[in-house]
Amino acid sequence: MHEDGNGDGRGVESAVSGSGVNQPEFLALERELTVLLRRARANQGEMAREVHPDLESSAYGLLVRLGECGGQRATELAAYIGVGKATMSRQLRALEELGLVAREPDPADGRAWLVTLTQEGQDRVGRVRDARRARYARRLASWDPREVTELARLLHELNRGMEK
């Protein structure tokens, strides 16, 4: 059981359930995150179609991950995305058929395979990501650059906190 940091033995759930969750700041956070996530899902679908008209929305994140991290084993990708092996195999097969990813032997373990972006995959994902960043820059042009930096920092902290 996790403790709340005060050493009193109360679990995190009991510490949170009795206080704070109905505070205006958490209600506002919930509302704004809901809007952000809804828009992000819609945006992901648009970006997937920009990469390839037949690309599933959920597969876009795989391509971005491969672009950022390089070759990955299918099991690593499945764990990162949070899906099972069967789902990952189906998505990777579809991406291979579209010519966006390829499998190559893992130099660290000849029995395993690494999934990598093909040159076509790199080009297409790169174009879409560049266009997305340009949209962010246009929409946030009136922001002070320090605010953009702070937003990125806070979102990073939120994402790290959600991993725990």
Helix ranges (DSSP H) in the chain: 12-17, 24-51, 60-69, 74-81, 85-97, 119-139, 145-163
Say if CB 101 and CB 64 are below 8 A apart: no
For residue 54, name the pLDDT band (cuts at 50, 70, 90): very high
For 70-97, how does the pLDDT look when each residue is reduced to its tens digit (9 = 90+)? 999 999 999 988 899 999 999 999 999 9
* Percent of the chain residues topping a pLDDT of 90: 69
Provide, rounded to the nearest whole percent, the portion of the chain with pLDDT above 70: 88
Q: Which secondary-structure segment (H or E) carries 105?
A: strand 101-106
pLDDT digits (tens, 9 = 90+) for 93-129: 999 999 999 999 988 888 889 999 999 999 999 999 9
Candidate from 6-15, 20-29, 33-42 with smallest mean pLDDT: 6-15
Decide: helix, strand or coil at residue 1. coil
Across 53-65, average pLDDT: 92
Task: Tell me the mean pLDDT in the region 24-28.
Answer: 91
Is pTM beyond 0.85? Reply is no
